[in-house]
Amino acid sequence: MPRLAPGKLVIATHNAGKLKEIQALLAPYGMECLSAGELGLGEPDETGLTFVENALIKAQAAAEASRLPSLADDSGLCVDALKGLPGVYTADWAEAAIYEGGPRRDWYMAMGKVEGKLAELGPDVSRDCHFACTLAIAWPDGTHAVYEGRAPGALTWPPRGTLGFGYDPVFVPTGYDRTFAELDPAEKHKISHRADAFAKLVAEQFSA
């Protein structure tokens, strides 16, 4: 399997928040991160039924279009009482409307949808959940590597905090009393599902 060398790496995302997190995690390794958005690459249909399948779809599409090594992240919130939902449909639950240029995502609506479904199950329902992250690297020659991570926690309501993105304002990581959206980004990066997956990636890709 090829290994990443310092240089250009396409991050297969149009999500500015996700790009910023990935750039911060890769900065120590000499990677020049370019987003799929700034390269004008389209977003492939995520037809997979798992995080691994969707991450590979995005990474392989970006590598083929750019002819550069590409990294894709597929991540989501998995709620125990909802049998793992929203899971791979995490972003879909936030799609509020279609406007010229693509879908508009309303994360407050998505958080409310999760809370509403839990409320339907009764006041004593478990609020345990975890964030899952799959990182896929694809090279133009078709080879790939996959790394999976998770961050356990519980849901809170109402949302708290203005940092982070997505479902961060309702997710309290295990061992903390603050949501991801209340944590300093540097602190979040140390314990997030993405950090867990990146630790595995770094151990294989950048270790001596």
Decide: 168 and 181 in contact? Cβ < 8 Å.
yes
Q: Which residues pair with residue 138 across a beta bridge?
A: 70, 144
What is Dmax (Cα atoms) for the chain?
52
Distance, in Å, from the CA atom of 71 to the CA atom of 10, rounded to the nearest integer, reads: 6
- CA dist., res. 32 & res. 14, Å (int): 16
Which of 74, 80, 106, 168 does the annotation list as catalytic?
74
What CA–CA distances, in Å, run from 135 to 58, 63, 109, 121, 156? 10, 14, 27, 33, 27
Would you call 74 a catalytic residue per the annotation? Answer: yes
Question: Where in the sequence numbering do the catalytic residues fall?
Answer: 74
